Amino acid sequence: MKLEEAKPTPDAGAAPEAESAPRRRFELDDRGFDEVPKKYRKFYRRWEGPGDALGPNEILCPVCKVVIRSPRELRPGDRVYCMACMARLRIVRGAEGSLAGQVEY
């Protein structure tokens, strides 16, 4: 297995909601998240609490409350992995219109 495959990239087979605009891409930097091997650290950051705002490429893991960061904009139907707690999440539109991660087992 190539370790690079473990990146929390959206699932290519997912069915995103109809959005015609191309997805924005993001350069990820290391935000000091030290709970996964070095090569994966840029894909995560700490959640700073209620005042913290998530970017369009970020989702909060509901299991361990770590922010997962993708190199491209996330949309409903995408799937991401949280390496900090080993959860597999499906991106959904939450009740308030924002994106949320739903655990898939």
Partner 1 sequence: MDPELFRDHVRSFEFWFGAVQGYLEGTSFGLRPGAPEPPLDAAARDALVTVLCNYCVGETIALEGAGALIRIAPNRPTKVFLSTQTVDEGRHLEVFTHRLAELGVADPEAEIAARANPKLLEFRRRFLELVRGEDWEAAVFAQNVILEAMEFSVFQLHARNADPRTREILLGVIKDERRHIGFGENELGRRIAQAPEVRERLARVRRALDPLVLESFTSTLERVGAPRQDFDELGRSYLQAVARLGFA
The residues of the shown chain that bind partner 1, judged by CB under 8 A, are: 1, 3, 5-7, 9, 34-39, 41, 62-64, 66, 81-88, 103, 105
Minimum CB separation from partner 1 for residue 28, in Å? 17
Closest to partner 1 by CB, 15 or 19: 15
Q: Which helix (H) or strand (E) holds 101?
A: strand 99-104
Minimum CB separation from partner 1 for residue 21, in Å? 26
Closest to partner 1 by CB, 72 or 88: 88
Inter-CA distances, 41 with 31, 89, 94, 104, Å: 8, 18, 27, 22
Closest to partner 1 by CB, 5 or 27: 5
